[in-house]
Chains A and B, each alone.
Chain A
Amino acid sequence: MSYDPSNTDPPVIPDVIRFPLTPGIRKYAWDHGYSEQLLARHLNLFKSEYREYLKGMESRVPTYIRANTLRCRPAELRKRLESKGFVLEPLDFCNHAFRLDKTPFTPGSTPEYLLGQYFVQDAASLAPVLSLNPRPGETVVDMCCAPGGKTSHVAQLMQRHGTILAFELEEKRMRSTASNLARCGVDNALLFNRDAALAAPWLAENDVTVDKILLDAPCSGEGVLPNDKARRKGEVEEFVACATGQRRLLAAAASMLRKGGELVYSTCAIAPEENEFNVVYACEKLGLEIVETGIDSANGAPLTKGFTEIGALKLPGYVSMARRFLPHRNRTLGFFFAKFRKVVE
Chain B
Amino acid sequence: MIAELTGEELSKMKAFLERFDRKLFDELLGKYSLATIGEEGEKTIIVSGRETAELAKRLSPETFGLPFGEFRFGDFYLGLEGLYLIGGMSDRKKVILDEKGVQFFLYGRDVKGKHINIYDEDLKTGDLTLVTTPYGEVIGLATVAGKLEKLGTVIHKLLDRGWYLREGG
Interface set of A (CB-CB < 8 Å, partner B): 80, 108-109, 111, 114-115, 160-163, 165, 174-176, 178-180, 182-183, 185-193, 206, 208
Contact = CB atoms under 8 A, between A and B. Distances in A.
B139 A111 contact: yes
Given A179-B169, A183-B168, A190 B61 contact: yes
Contact of B81 (A160, A174, A182, A193): A182
Contacts of A80: 135
B76 interface: no
B62 A176 contact: no
B118 to A, nearest CB: 17
A179 B165 contact: no
Contact of A111 (B52, B66, B102, B169): B102
B67 to A, nearest CB: 6
Nearest to B168: A179
B128 interface: no
B145 interface: no
B165 A114 contact: yes
Interface string B30-65: 001000000000000001110110011011011111
A160 B51 CA distance: 11
Contacts of A175: 168-169
B164 interface: yes
Contact of B62 (A115, A162, A193, A208): A193
A190 B139 contact: no
A163 B52 contact: yes
Nearest to A187: B66
A131 B160 CA distance: 36
A115 B47 contact: no
B90 to A, nearest CB: 18
Contact of B48 (A108, A187, A193): A187
B48 A188 contact: yes
A174 B169 CA distance: 9
A92 B2 CA distance: 43
B146 interface: no
Given A178-B63, A190-B64, A114 B48 contact: no
A162 B52 CA distance: 7
B164 A114 contact: yes
A111 B165 CA distance: 11
Contact of A161 (B47, B49, B102): B49
A188 B161 contact: no
A162 B81 CA distance: 20
Given A186-B66, A187-B52, A190-B59, A114 B169 contact: no
27 contacts: A108-B165, A114-B139, A114-B161, A114-B165, A115-B139, A163-B52, A163-B55, A165-B55, A165-B59, A174-B62, A178-B62, A179-B164, A183-B164, A183-B168, A185-B66, A187-B49, A188-B48, A188-B51, A188-B52, A190-B55, A190-B61, A190-B64, A191-B62, A191-B63, A191-B64, A192-B59, A206-B59
A162 B50 CA distance: 10
Contacts of A114: 106, 139, 161-162, 164-165
Sort A-B residue pairs by CB-CB distance and give the 6 closest, nearest first: A179-B168, A176-B169, A190-B61, A175-B169, A114-B161, A190-B64
Nearest to B162: A114
B137 interface: yes
A120 to B, nearest CB: 12
Nearest to A166: B61
Contact of A182 (B56, B66, B162): B66
A345 B29 CA distance: 41
Given A179-B169, A192-B61, A193-B62, 9 more contacts: A114-B164, A163-B52, A165-B55, A174-B62, A185-B81, A186-B66, A190-B64, A191-B62, A208-B59
Contacts of A187: 32, 47-49, 52, 65-66
B80 interface: yes
B84 to A, nearest CB: 7
Contacts of A160: 49
A192 B52 CA distance: 14
A192 B102 CA distance: 35
B143 interface: no
Interface string B72-93: 0000000011001000000000
